[in-house]
């Protein structure tokens, strides 16, 4: 009975916390080559992609505004999963994939896994920025909050086509109360949701710091879309 109750109460935010906790436990430090001149964190790929799938579910709560971003995340997850499936032992972690493409000189190609990792990281940047704004003020205007987070985290890397599409879709954003309610479990208060968001933020910040360091190391930290 207790297990059933827990399952019923598990929200997207709760699932995200669970996945990031697993990822934090699974991370290990690996010694890089002399050329790379640093030790970096090895990020297991499957737990990372599981978390990204939950990010998609959270963005779905915002509605059609996030449709383009959601589609991009799905495609990037699939690209990395395909690489993992080609050799699960060799490509069990993100660093090995980026290292392989860096050696081949294919990191910046349109369909590279390095580019997929870059855009997944930017999507997480956006999610973090939005969650930080929500936890700071649960009553703020959602349309304004999403636009400001987009301008900060995604717009600098988007071309005019992507930016224009987002601007049009922004009018479909739900109000803040509706968004918080769909994030909450049944009978869950906004205070509980706020506390869960804080827990998620505390796990997401160090993950993103590690991801940005890895992307910078393999020189794929500044890519742009059309």
Q: Which band of pLDDT confidence, cut at 50, 70 and 90, is reported for residue 1? A: very low
Tokens of 157: 């890397």
Tally the C-alpha atoms within 13 A of residue 29's C-alpha that lie toward its C-beta. Answer: 3
Give burial (CB, 10 Å; 0-12/13-18/19+) of 34.
exposed
In this structure, how many other beta carbons lie within 10 angstroms of the beta carbon of residue 70? Answer: 18
Q: Which band of pLDDT confidence, cut at 50, 70 and 90, is reported for residue 28? A: low
Lowest mean pLDDT among 27-31, 44-48, 58-62, 171-175: 27-31
pLDDT computed for residue 225 by the predictor: 64
pTM of the model: 0.86
Lowest mean pLDDT among 28-32, 69-73, 123-127: 28-32
pLDDT computed for residue 127 by the predictor: 93
Smallest Cα–Cα separation from 97: which of 113, 78, 73, 79? 113
Residues 6+ apart with CB under 8 A from 179: 61, 62, 142
pLDDT digits (tens, 9 = 90+) for 128-183: 999 999 888 888 888 899 999 999 998 888 877 777 777 777 777 888 888 888 88
Asked whether the predicted pLDDT for residue 7 surpasses 50, the reply is no
Task: Calculate Rg over the CA atoms of the chain.
Answer: 18
Asked whether the predicted pLDDT for residue 60 surpasses 60, the reply is yes
pLDDT computed for residue 9 by the predictor: 52
**Averaged pLDDT of the chain:** 84
Structure-model confidence comparison of residues 46 and 170, the more confident one = 46
Q: How far is residue 81's CA from residue 53's CA, in Å, rounded to a whole number? A: 12
Q: How far is residue 195's CA from residue 92's CA, in Å, rounded to a whole number? A: 33
Asked whether the predicted pLDDT for residue 29 surpasses 70, the reply is no
pLDDT digits (tens, 9 = 90+) for 82-114: 999 999 999 999 999 999 999 999 999 999 999
Average pLDDT over residues 46-54: 93
pLDDT computed for residue 81 by the predictor: 96
Tokens of 134: 């929500």
Q: CA torsion angle for 131, 136, 140, 142 (degrees, to 10)?
A: -10
Average pLDDT over residues 191-204: 93
pLDDT computed for residue 40 by the predictor: 63
Q: How far is residue 19's CA from residue 131's CA, in Å, rounded to a whole number? A: 17
């Amino acid at each position: 009975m207790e297990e059933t109750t827990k399952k019923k109460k598990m929200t997207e935010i709760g699932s995200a916390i669970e996945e990031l906790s697993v990822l934090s436990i699974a991370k290990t430090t690996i010694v890089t080559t002399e050329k790379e001149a640093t030790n970096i964190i090895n990020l297991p790929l499957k737990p990372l992609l599981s978390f990204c799938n939950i990010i998609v579910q959270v963005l779905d709560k915002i509605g059609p505004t996030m449709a383009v971003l959601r589609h991009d995340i799905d495609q990037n997850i699939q690209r990395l999963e395909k690489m993992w499936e080609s050799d699960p032992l060799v490509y069990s972690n993100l660093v090995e994939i980026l290292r392989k493409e860096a050696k081949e000189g294919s990191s910046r190609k349109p369909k590279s896994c390095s580019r997929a990792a870059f855009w997944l990281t930017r999507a997480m940047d956006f999610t973090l920025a939005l969650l930080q704004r929500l936890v700071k003020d649960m009553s703020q205007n959602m349309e304004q909050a999403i636009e400001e987070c987009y301008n900060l985290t995604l717009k600098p890397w988007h071309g005019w086509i992507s930016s224009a599409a987002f601007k049009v879709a922004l009018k479909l954003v739900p109000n803040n109360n509706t968004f918080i309610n769909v994030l909450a479990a049944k009978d869950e208060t906004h205070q509980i949701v706020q506390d869960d968001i804080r827990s998620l933020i505390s796990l997401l910040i160090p993950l993103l710091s590690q991801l940005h360091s890895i992307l910078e190391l393999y020189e794929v930290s500044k890519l742009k879309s059309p």
